[in-house]
Amino acid sequence: MPPGPHTSAGTDAASTPAGDGTPGAGAAAPAPVPRPGRAVRLARLVRREAPRTALAAAVGAALAFAFPPYDLWPLSVLAVAALSLLTRGRSARQGAWTGFALALPFFVLLLRWLDVVGYDVVFGLSAVEALFVAALGAGLARTSRLRAWPLWAACLWVAQEWARDRVPFGGFPWGRLAFANTHSPFTPLAALGGAPLVGFAVALAGTLLAFAALAARRLRTVRRVRTALPAAGAVALTAALTCAGYAVPVPTGADDTVDIAVVQGDVQKPGMDFLGRPMMILNNHVNATLDLARDVKAGKARRPDLVIWPENSSDLDPFRDVEAYDRIQEAASAIGVPILVGALVDHPTKPGYVFNEGIVWDPKSGPGASYTKQHPVPFGEYVPFREELSSVISRLQRVPRDFYPGDRTGLLQVGPARLGDVICFEIAYDEIVRDTVRAGARALVVQTNNATFGRTDQPEQQLAMSRLRAVEHGRTVVTAATSGISAVVGPNGRVEQRAPEFTREVISARIPLRDGTTLADRVGAVPEWALAIVGLSSCAAALLTGRRTQGEKTGKKAKKGQRHK
């Protein structure tokens, strides 16, 4: 019987004697080539992608200079454009590798201030954060074949930051595009949609630039006016988007004012052992406040309505240590106004746990209302899986007690002012700051202790976040730091006053208090969720489109084969 479409190839092979190498229908089928192992495939991918990987790494290193203390914000736009071009038309795996190659050097340079803990921490945290950008790279590669891909790509940047801000262990928002644009043309957009809208605008400007570059390259081969229109349009949209922030009104009017004094008492030395001997940091802040009280009495300084001390300004629990209590009371009585004191307070019922608190200390009645930090830093202020990890990582013994999280916002009445207290790294988290403003805070206070990371980029990076929050919420943001940088940031995001690091200094200022809210306060997290959902939906659409296209190609090949037979 002549062979037909249903004839088994295995039957023909079985009827041929072993070793018969004659060609034709009776020839033995070639042995299947074994698929290379995963390690071999990864090595081939790395070797094949070496030039693209090197370029991505260079772009990631450049992106770090968009952030403080360098503040070369245009690099954030260019980096987005570069990643879009490097991932365009690639497979998801290739896009993921490119994203990781860009992100790893970026985070290593951005977070190198963690070297005071150890370079293994720098590289470990950077690798974890880079995994999110790897997922972004895969999404960019997938969606690059869709129409309007610059829009979907910008939404994917928001989705990546949305995920990175929340997981693992509550997330780590450092390195968001918005934090590189705290005094750029994009900054006023924060008053409309917060940090997510600023990040989206930066990302969209970058993806539009990438689109313009691709259109310009096509123009070199096809010299037609019609071909030039997309490039010109993309450039015009990028320019309009960049300048759009100038049209956004930033509310700065005051409903009232209050005179404050911010005390930066200083520490003995930077690093992990900044505390020095017991009572030293507390005495520094008490003595600086007593000096202020003497100046007020002598008529050399105006009496403030309230005084703000930083996080950990009391290095002992004032409720358990009588000397610490008496010293704080001495300072409050001398200045004659309430002091917002930062202190570590032992948990009353859970031994081994402490509260990181801001305490309102009245000159007559003593300690009153307090705020407990809601978002302790994992592995810095508490150790997840302590029992399992402590036996493996001896360094965790340097965190002997776990900080217990608070369960409410930091709205505090400090003298005549209703303030929103935010402690240290909490300034990086949108919802913590927003909830405090929504609760009724008329100005924001960031109590922080940056002594561990003194003389690194970290204090500048954190101050930049305060600048963005000031614009986002239309509030003055007062940063009180043990060793610097203490500062007063106006509602327009401008730094009005600042104290240098590792000096004892008192900042006196009259700040506006505001009751009105911005559009960003009212819409909350809606823009972030909407943009993230759009980005993820575009990935799903790209997957479905890809499968449909592949199915159509397979069907055409099958029909062509049948016609040939």
Q: Of 49, 129, 161, 311, which residue is the catalytic one?
A: 311
Grouping H, G, I as helix, E, B as strand and the rest as coil, residue 307 is strand
Q: What is the pLDDT of residue 560?
A: 60
User: Which is catalytic among the residues 49, 129, 373, 539?
Assistant: 373
The helix (run of H) or strand (run of E) holding residue 344 is strand 339-346
Q: How far apart are CA 206 and CA 153, in angstroms?
A: 10
Tokens encoding 54: 């090197």
Burial label, 255 (beta-carbon count in 10 A; 0-12, 13-18, 19+): exposed
Q: Which amino acid is at 86?
A: L
Distance of CA 352 to the CA centre of its chain: 30
Residue 43: its pLDDT value, please?
78
Q: Which residues contact 21 (CB under 8 A, 6 or more apart)?
A: 27, 28
Amino acid 51: pLDDT: 92
Residue 353, classified by CB atoms within 10 Å of its CB into exposed (0-12), middle (13-18) or buried (19+), is middle
Q: Does 311 qualify as catalytic in the annotation?
A: yes
Q: In angstroms, rounded to a whole number, what is the distance separating the alpha carbons of residues 327 and 287?
A: 9
Is 95:141 a contact under the CB 8 Å cutoff?
yes
Say which DSSP state 382 is in. Answer: B
* Res 105: pLDDT: 98
Nearest-angstrom CA–CA distance, 105 and 55: 12
Is 472 an annotated catalytic residue? no
Give the separation between CA 16 and CA 19, rounded to whole angstroms. 9
The DSSP code for 331 is H
What amino acid is encoded at 457 in this protein? D
Q: Which helix (H) or strand (E) holds 431?
A: helix 430-438
Task: Give the whole-angstrom CA distance, residue 129 versus residue 140.
Answer: 17
Tell me whether residue 539 is one of the annotated catalytic residues.
no
Per-residue pLDDT of the chain (565 residues; tens, 9 = 90+): 444 444 444 444 444 444 444 444 455 556 666 777 778 877 776 788 799 999 999 999 999 999 999 999 999 999 999 999 999 999 999 999 999 999 999 999 999 999 988 898 999 999 999 999 999 999 999 999 999 999 999 999 999 999 999 999 999 999 999 999 999 999 999 999 999 999 999 999 999 999 999 988 877 666 665 667 888 889 999 999 999 999 999 888 889 999 999 999 999 877 666 566 678 999 999 999 999 999 999 999 999 999 999 999 998 999 999 999 999 999 999 999 999 999 999 999 998 899 999 999 999 999 999 999 999 998 888 888 777 777 677 677 777 788 999 999 999 999 999 999 999 999 999 999 999 999 999 999 999 998 989 999 999 999 999 999 999 999 999 999 999 899 999 999 999 999 999 999 999 999 999 999 999 999 999 999 999 999 999 999 998 886 665 555 555 555 665 655 5
> Cα(223)–Cα(220) distance, rounded to whole angstroms?
6
In the block, residue with structure tokens 């990987």: 53
Q: How far apart are CA 223 and CA 193, in angstroms?
A: 41
Contacts of residue 459, Cβ cutoff 8 Å, sequence gap at least 6: 450, 453, 481, 484, 485, 501
Q: What is the pLDDT of residue 383?
A: 81
The whole-model pTM stands at: 0.89
Q: Which residues pair with 413 in a beta bridge?
A: 418
- Tokens of residue 272, six digits: 């992990």
- Give the three-class secondary structure for 4: coil
Among 161, 381, 424, 501, the active-site one is 424
Three-state SS sequence of 119-181: HHHHHHHHHHHHHHHHHHHHHHHHHCCCCCHHHHHHHHHHHHHHHHCCCCCCCCCCCCHHHHC
